[in-house]
Amino acid sequence: MSGTSLYLVPTPIGNLEDITLRALRVLKEADVILAEDTRTSGKLLSHYEINTPRQSYHIFNEHKILGSLIKRMKDGECMALVTDAGTPGISDPGFLLVRECLSHDLKVECLPGATAFVPALVKSGFASDRFVFEGFLPHKKGRQTRLTELAAEERTLVFYESPHRLVKTLGQLQEFFGDREASVSRELTKIHEETRNGLLSQLENHYRESGVKGEIVLIVHGKK
Protein backbone atom coordinates (compact mmCIF):
# COMPACT_ATOMS: atom_id res chain seq x y z
CA MET A 1 0.00 0.00 0.00
CA SER A 2 2.39 2.65 -1.33
CA GLY A 3 5.00 1.79 1.26
CA THR A 4 2.87 3.17 4.10
CA SER A 5 3.33 1.41 7.42
CA LEU A 6 0.60 3.14 9.43
CA TYR A 7 -2.69 4.69 8.36
CA LEU A 8 -4.67 6.84 10.78
CA VAL A 9 -8.28 6.24 9.76
CA PRO A 10 -11.07 8.52 11.03
CA THR A 11 -14.33 6.73 11.80
CA PRO A 12 -17.88 8.14 12.10
CA ILE A 13 -18.77 9.95 15.31
CA GLY A 14 -22.32 8.65 15.02
CA ASN A 15 -23.84 8.13 11.60
CA LEU A 16 -22.16 5.14 9.94
CA GLU A 17 -22.51 6.78 6.52
CA ASP A 18 -19.93 9.40 7.50
CA ILE A 19 -16.92 7.42 6.33
CA THR A 20 -14.96 7.92 3.14
CA LEU A 21 -14.54 5.43 0.33
CA ARG A 22 -10.79 5.64 0.81
CA ALA A 23 -11.10 4.81 4.51
CA LEU A 24 -13.12 1.70 3.67
CA ARG A 25 -10.52 0.61 1.13
CA VAL A 26 -7.64 1.09 3.58
CA LEU A 27 -9.45 -0.86 6.30
CA LYS A 28 -10.02 -3.73 3.88
CA GLU A 29 -6.46 -3.78 2.51
CA ALA A 30 -4.49 -3.32 5.75
CA ASP A 31 -2.86 -6.37 7.34
CA VAL A 32 -4.32 -5.51 10.74
CA ILE A 33 -6.64 -2.91 12.26
CA LEU A 34 -5.54 -1.48 15.59
CA ALA A 35 -8.73 -0.58 17.45
CA GLU A 36 -9.27 1.34 20.68
CA ASP A 37 -12.17 -1.00 21.44
CA THR A 38 -12.57 -3.97 19.10
CA ARG A 39 -16.25 -4.35 20.08
CA THR A 40 -17.10 -0.76 19.18
CA SER A 41 -15.14 -0.86 15.93
CA GLY A 42 -16.62 -4.27 15.21
CA LYS A 43 -20.05 -2.71 14.63
CA LEU A 44 -18.68 -0.45 11.90
CA LEU A 45 -16.55 -3.16 10.31
CA SER A 46 -19.42 -5.63 10.35
CA HIS A 47 -21.73 -3.07 8.74
CA TYR A 48 -19.31 -2.70 5.82
CA GLU A 49 -18.38 -6.40 5.75
CA ILE A 50 -14.71 -5.76 6.56
CA ASN A 51 -13.00 -8.89 7.88
CA THR A 52 -9.46 -7.58 8.42
CA PRO A 53 -7.89 -9.00 11.63
CA ARG A 54 -8.24 -6.66 14.62
CA GLN A 55 -6.01 -6.02 17.63
CA SER A 56 -6.68 -3.88 20.70
CA TYR A 57 -4.64 -0.69 20.99
CA HIS A 58 -5.58 1.74 23.77
CA ILE A 59 -4.09 3.91 26.50
CA PHE A 60 -3.77 0.97 28.88
CA ASN A 61 -1.62 -1.22 26.62
CA GLU A 62 0.02 1.14 24.12
CA HIS A 63 3.34 1.37 25.99
CA LYS A 64 3.49 -2.39 26.43
CA ILE A 65 2.90 -3.38 22.80
CA LEU A 66 4.50 -0.40 21.06
CA GLY A 67 7.82 -2.14 20.43
CA SER A 68 6.24 -5.23 18.91
CA LEU A 69 4.06 -3.14 16.59
CA ILE A 70 7.07 -1.21 15.33
CA LYS A 71 8.94 -4.45 14.68
CA ARG A 72 6.02 -5.86 12.72
CA MET A 73 5.77 -2.72 10.61
CA LYS A 74 9.50 -2.84 9.95
CA ASP A 75 8.99 -6.42 8.77
CA GLY A 76 6.47 -5.16 6.22
CA GLU A 77 3.07 -5.20 7.88
CA CYS A 78 0.67 -2.34 7.09
CA MET A 79 -1.53 -1.25 10.00
CA ALA A 80 -4.64 0.93 10.22
CA LEU A 81 -5.38 2.69 13.50
CA VAL A 82 -8.96 3.53 14.45
CA THR A 83 -10.49 4.82 17.66
CA ASP A 84 -14.04 4.48 18.94
CA ALA A 85 -15.08 7.58 16.96
CA GLY A 86 -13.45 10.42 15.08
CA THR A 87 -9.82 10.98 14.15
CA PRO A 88 -7.09 9.06 16.02
CA GLY A 89 -4.84 11.33 18.06
CA ILE A 90 -7.52 13.96 18.77
CA SER A 91 -8.22 13.30 22.47
CA ASP A 92 -7.73 9.62 21.60
CA PRO A 93 -4.77 7.19 21.33
CA GLY A 94 -2.48 7.74 18.37
CA PHE A 95 0.20 10.30 19.22
CA LEU A 96 2.62 7.83 20.81
CA LEU A 97 2.45 5.36 17.92
CA VAL A 98 2.88 8.07 15.27
CA ARG A 99 5.89 9.53 17.06
CA GLU A 100 7.52 6.12 17.35
CA CYS A 101 6.87 5.31 13.68
CA LEU A 102 8.47 8.56 12.56
CA SER A 103 11.49 8.00 14.77
CA HIS A 104 12.02 4.68 12.93
CA ASP A 105 11.51 6.25 9.47
CA LEU A 106 8.24 4.39 8.94
CA LYS A 107 5.77 6.14 6.63
CA VAL A 108 2.58 7.42 8.26
CA GLU A 109 -0.54 8.69 6.50
CA CYS A 110 -3.59 10.32 8.08
CA LEU A 111 -6.84 10.19 6.12
CA PRO A 112 -9.21 13.15 6.32
CA GLY A 113 -12.49 12.51 8.05
CA ALA A 114 -14.78 12.97 11.02
CA THR A 115 -13.76 15.02 14.06
CA ALA A 116 -16.50 16.01 16.49
CA PHE A 117 -15.41 19.57 17.24
CA VAL A 118 -15.48 20.76 13.61
CA PRO A 119 -19.27 20.60 13.00
CA ALA A 120 -19.93 21.88 16.54
CA LEU A 121 -17.65 24.88 16.00
CA VAL A 122 -18.95 25.73 12.53
CA LYS A 123 -22.64 25.65 13.50
CA SER A 124 -22.16 27.50 16.81
CA GLY A 125 -22.13 30.79 14.93
CA PHE A 126 -18.95 31.88 16.71
CA ALA A 127 -15.77 32.94 14.90
CA SER A 128 -14.10 29.85 13.45
CA ASP A 129 -11.24 31.48 11.56
CA ARG A 130 -9.17 31.52 14.76
CA PHE A 131 -9.91 29.16 17.64
CA VAL A 132 -8.27 27.19 20.46
CA PHE A 133 -8.94 23.47 20.84
CA GLU A 134 -8.57 22.44 24.48
CA GLY A 135 -10.13 18.97 24.43
CA PHE A 136 -10.92 17.79 27.96
CA LEU A 137 -9.96 20.11 30.81
CA PRO A 138 -7.92 18.54 33.64
CA HIS A 139 -10.34 16.89 36.05
CA LYS A 140 -8.61 18.01 39.24
CA LYS A 141 -4.93 18.97 39.32
CA GLY A 142 -4.25 22.01 37.17
CA ARG A 143 -7.90 22.67 36.30
CA GLN A 144 -8.19 26.07 37.97
CA THR A 145 -4.79 27.13 36.68
CA ARG A 146 -5.82 26.29 33.13
CA LEU A 147 -9.12 28.13 33.42
CA THR A 148 -7.31 31.19 34.75
CA GLU A 149 -4.97 31.12 31.76
CA LEU A 150 -7.81 30.71 29.27
CA ALA A 151 -9.90 33.56 30.72
CA ALA A 152 -7.87 36.10 28.74
CA GLU A 153 -8.02 34.15 25.45
CA GLU A 154 -9.72 36.19 22.70
CA ARG A 155 -10.12 33.31 20.26
CA THR A 156 -13.11 30.97 20.31
CA LEU A 157 -12.57 28.15 22.82
CA VAL A 158 -13.42 24.51 22.07
CA PHE A 159 -13.81 21.86 24.77
CA TYR A 160 -14.89 18.23 25.00
CA GLU A 161 -16.94 17.33 28.06
CA SER A 162 -18.70 14.33 29.53
CA PRO A 163 -22.43 14.56 30.35
CA HIS A 164 -21.98 14.10 34.10
CA ARG A 165 -19.48 17.00 34.29
CA LEU A 166 -21.18 19.47 31.95
CA VAL A 167 -23.23 21.40 34.51
CA LYS A 168 -20.23 21.73 36.85
CA THR A 169 -18.01 22.92 34.00
CA LEU A 170 -20.56 25.51 32.84
CA GLY A 171 -20.63 26.88 36.40
CA GLN A 172 -16.84 27.02 36.67
CA LEU A 173 -16.54 28.78 33.33
CA GLN A 174 -18.79 31.53 34.65
CA GLU A 175 -16.55 31.92 37.70
CA PHE A 176 -13.40 32.35 35.62
CA PHE A 177 -14.71 33.85 32.35
CA GLY A 178 -17.84 35.73 33.33
CA ASP A 179 -21.24 35.00 31.82
CA ARG A 180 -20.25 34.62 28.16
CA GLU A 181 -22.07 33.29 25.14
CA ALA A 182 -21.57 29.57 24.58
CA SER A 183 -22.86 26.67 22.51
CA VAL A 184 -23.40 23.06 23.54
CA SER A 185 -23.61 20.36 20.86
CA ARG A 186 -24.39 16.79 21.81
CA GLU A 187 -25.00 13.51 19.98
CA LEU A 188 -23.59 14.97 16.75
CA THR A 189 -24.74 13.13 13.58
CA LYS A 190 -27.04 10.88 15.64
CA ILE A 191 -30.84 10.74 15.82
CA HIS A 192 -31.06 12.99 18.89
CA GLU A 193 -28.47 15.56 17.75
CA GLU A 194 -28.93 18.89 19.50
CA THR A 195 -27.17 22.25 19.56
CA ARG A 196 -28.19 24.86 22.10
CA ASN A 197 -26.79 28.40 22.25
CA GLY A 198 -27.05 30.90 25.10
CA LEU A 199 -25.21 32.47 27.98
CA LEU A 200 -23.23 30.10 30.19
CA SER A 201 -25.73 30.70 33.01
CA GLN A 202 -28.70 29.90 30.77
CA LEU A 203 -27.08 26.69 29.55
CA GLU A 204 -26.17 25.67 33.10
CA ASN A 205 -29.76 26.16 34.28
CA HIS A 206 -31.19 24.31 31.29
CA TYR A 207 -29.03 21.22 31.66
CA ARG A 208 -29.36 21.15 35.43
CA GLU A 209 -33.13 20.95 35.02
CA SER A 210 -33.36 18.76 31.93
CA GLY A 211 -30.34 16.52 32.41
CA VAL A 212 -27.91 15.71 29.62
CA LYS A 213 -26.90 12.61 27.71
CA GLY A 214 -24.43 11.83 24.95
CA GLU A 215 -21.01 13.02 23.83
CA ILE A 216 -20.62 16.79 24.17
CA VAL A 217 -18.68 19.56 22.45
CA LEU A 218 -18.71 22.90 24.26
CA ILE A 219 -17.89 26.11 22.36
CA VAL A 220 -17.24 29.31 24.34
CA HIS A 221 -16.94 32.84 22.95
CA GLY A 222 -13.51 34.37 23.38
CA LYS A 223 -12.91 37.37 25.60
CA LYS A 224 -14.22 40.57 24.03
Locate CATH 3.30.950.10 in the chain. 117-220
Per-residue model confidence (pLDDT) at position 2: 76
Locate CATH 3.40.1010.10 in the chain. 6-110
Instruction: Give the pairing of strands 216-220 and 181-186.
Output: antiparallel
AA identity, residue 94:
G
> pLDDT by residue (tens digit) across 68-90?
999 999 999 999 999 999 999 99
Assess if CATH 3.30.950.10 describes domain 117-220.
yes
CATH architecture of the domain with range 6-110: 3-Layer(aba) Sandwich (3.40)
Asked whether the beta carbons of 188 and 119 are under 8 A apart, the reply is yes
Q: What averages of pLDDT result for each successive group of 10 residues across the chain (224 residues)?
A: 92 96 98 96 97 96 96 98 95 94 98 95 96 94 96 98 96 98 97 96 97 94 95
Per the document, the length of the chain is: 224
Q: Is 192 exposed, middle or buried (0-12, 13-18, 19+ CB in 10 A)?
A: exposed
Distance CA 203, CA 208 (A): 8
Whether the full predicted model's pTM is greater than 0.75, yes or no, is: yes
